[in-house]
Amino acid sequence: MIVSLYGENTGRRTPTVTELGQWASYYGHTFPVTADPAWGVGGLYNRDGAHPTLVLLEPGMRIVSVDQPVSEADIQAVLPNTYP
């Protein structure tokens, strides 16, 4: 799972649902983008001072990657193998 956190809009307020959709579209995100008021969570994981902040989680919610680009191959690598 990838989670993208968006802490504030250009007015320094918590982003609206519409703004979250625009953010996702601008960056080409195909995964959920969530509001993070005042960067309360994202600030804990933002290591490079830039946005967006991406966190790749594997099943069981173990953090695999923090604030790094995430490729389709990265995502595939953490998906459980459901075939025998």
Q: Greater confidence, 34 or 3?
A: 34
Measured in whole angstroms, how far is the alpha carbon of residue 34 from the centre of its chain? Answer: 8
Closest CA to 36 of 45, 28, 27: 45
Our CA dihedral for 58, 63, 67, 71, rounded to 10 degrees, sits at: -20
Task: Please report the pLDDT score of residue 6 as a whole number.
Answer: 83
> What's the pLDDT tens digit per position in 39-79?
898 888 887 777 767 788 888 889 998 888 888 899 889 98
**How far from 63 is each of 10, 22, 68, 78, CA to CA, in Å?**
29, 26, 12, 10
The model's pTM is: 0.61
